[in-house]
Amino acid sequence: MDGGRSGSETRNLTGGPHVQEVLRAAQDELRVLLQQRAEIMKRIGTVKQTIIGLANMFGDEVLSEDLLELVDRKSGGRQPGFTKACRMVLMEAGHPLGAREVCEHIQRRLPPLLLRHKDPLASVTTVLNRLVEYGEARAVVRENGRRAWEWVSEPADSPFERPHSDENFTEV
């Protein structure tokens, strides 16, 4: 016995075969879209790193106002958000950073941003983990066993890729 439910009640609870088919198709499409988003974020990261690298070498004045805004380097106006600041620090670092190091970079560049947070280290860690979920960053484990995060960019065969440091890391 099925607990007093008739066959039509059970079918209504599971939605029947047509509903299950639609759900499977939606799940498959969602997986594909999330993968595409991760690939696009990697490409965006690579292009932004290239632009930032050129601006670091030749000065921000080589960038138009629009480009400065696109790479989150436009000065004046409102301060960038906390997540944008974490993105900027990871992108510009060129190597994995721990949460404390990200906090220190933000403290040097945008001190007022940290004042709004009761526990800046916890806030940075939360944002870094979200960036991993978004496919924008990668968590690694340093040789000392501590976690670090690095900006995700395209594979090394990309013409925009920068060389990695010699430090050994394990991806988590």
Structure tokens at 109: 């560049």
Average predicted confidence (pLDDT) for the chain: 79
Q: What would the pLDDT profile of 33-85 be if each residue is shown by its tens digit? A: 988 888 888 888 788 878 878 887 888 788 888 887 777 666 554 445 888 88
Q: What would the pLDDT profile of 3-24 be if each residue is shown by its tens digit? A: 555 555 555 667 788 898 999 9
E-only strand ranges, the chain: 137-142, 147-151, 169-171
Question: Is the torsion defined by CA of 149, 151, 154, 160 positive or negative?
Answer: negative
**Cβ–Cβ < 8 Å for 103, 119:** no
Q: Tell me: pLDDT of 99 over 90.
A: yes
**Cβ–Cβ < 8 Å for 55, 72:** no
Percent of the chain with pLDDT over 90: 33
Residue ranges covered by each domain of the chain: 18-171
CATH assignment of 18-171, given 1.10.10.10, 1.10.10.60, 1.10.150.20, 3.40.50.720?
Answer: 1.10.10.10
Pick the more confident residue, 45 or 120: 120
- Region 133-153: mean pLDDT is 90
Query: What per-residue confidence (pLDDT) applies to 171?
Result: 55
Query: What per-residue confidence (pLDDT) applies to 165?
Result: 44
Write the single-letter amino acid at 77: G
